[in-house]
Structure 1
Amino acid sequence: MDDSETARRALEHALEVFPDAEITVVHAVDDLEAAYGGGPAIPDAGGREDEPDFFADVRDLAAARGHGGDVETAVVEGTPADAVLEHAREGDADAIVMGSEGRSGVSRVLLGSVAEAVTRRASIPVTIVP
């Protein structure tokens, strides 16, 4: 989840297709981009006050959709594709649902598509939502 419109559509899709499943919404902080930006890579571990603002919207959307399962949130650090895949492996995920694009401009051209990298390397089903 990167607070893009495609990421939101991916969440809506996951809530619809997996209405009673445990869903973990992952925000990957690119450690290289964070380092060059001068800020901390991951918020200090201390609770919801340190999470991205859009995680509140994630919980609100799940509640509004009447999602019957748990919706967890996680902030992970690393190259986004690697971080998403590692989190899925460690969490024993059954599937990955993600937006088709989040980055734009030069960053996306130089670094490649996270969705493409996840799709190529995942050992579980990946659904890409446009």
Structure 2
Amino acid sequence: MALLVALDESEPGWAALEYALEEHADDGIIVAHVADPNRSGYGEFAHLGAEAMRERMREAAADLFDAAHARAADQGYEITTELLVGQPAPAIVEYALDHDVDRIAVGSHGRSGVSRVLLGSVAERIARRAPVPVTIVR
């Protein structure tokens, strides 16, 4: 079985990885991080330039992946990593469609109330659109 873990810098994101390592250690675990150029701060692209911003995103992803590999290795497991570019929910769903993923694990950010209704969450969008079962980890 191939399990795709959507990982960001949040605690729920790390909880999703821990869940995968504990519950699916015998499966192929793919850790994906999505670099979303639309999340940059106001004026960063204009100030730094597009290539510099892409390089910052690659460096941040490399650091995140190094930490993920270390956590997996501490528990005696290996993972593979993938850097995706785009909006997080569609990028994760598209990857799952294109790579024969059997399940997705994603952290929940615990949004509630108005922000959840107006913005939705990445986890909810993945769960609604994914072609495979999705486990949302708190």
TM-score range for the pair, normalised by the shorter chain length: 0.7 to 0.9
In structure 2, what is the equivalent of residue 128 of structure 1? 136
**Counterparts of 1:82 and 1:35 in 2: how far apart (Å)?**
21
Cα pair 1:3 1:54 within 8 Å, conserved: yes
**1:63 shift after superposition:** 0.8
Is 1:84 matched up with 2:92? yes
Cα pair 1:43 1:51 within 8 Å, conserved: no
**Counterparts of 2:59 and 2:121 in 1: how far apart (Å)?**
30
**Equivalenced residues, count:** 123
Task: Report the secondary structure of 2:9's partner residue.
Answer: coil
In structure 1, what is the equivalent of residue 106 of structure 2? 98
* C-alpha distance 31-102 of structure 1, shift in aligned 2 (>3 A): farther
Cα pair 2:35 2:61 within 8 Å, conserved: no
**Can you list the C-alpha shifts for 1:78-126, whole angstroms capped at 9, x where unaligned?**
11100111111111100000100289xxx98864300000001111000
> Which stretches in structure 2 are left out of the alignment for 5+ residues?
1-6
Structure with the larger helix share: 2
Partner of residue 30 from structure 1, selected from 36, 39, 43: 36
Give the TM-score, by structure 2 length.
Answer: 0.75
> Which stretches in structure 1 are left out of the alignment for 5+ residues?
none
Is 1:13 matched up with 2:19? yes
Is 1:61 matched up with 2:71? yes
**Counterparts of 2:75 and 2:116 in 1: how far apart (Å)?**
32
**1:6 shift after superposition:** 0.6
* C-alpha distance 110-52 of structure 1, shift in aligned 2 (>3 A): farther
**Counterparts of 1:42 and 1:102 in 2: how far apart (Å)?**
29
RMSD, matched Cα: 2.8
Q: Tell me which structure has the larger Cα radius of gyration.
A: 2
In structure 1, what is the equivalent of residue 4 of structure 2? none
Cα pair 1:10 1:129 within 8 Å, conserved: yes
Give the TM-score, by structure 1 length.
Answer: 0.79
**Counterparts of 2:38 and 2:121 in 1: how far apart (Å)?**
16
**Counterparts of 1:8 and 1:26 in 2: how far apart (Å)?**
12
- Percentage of matched positions with identical amino acids: 44
**Counterparts of 1:42 and 1:92 in 2: how far apart (Å)?**
28
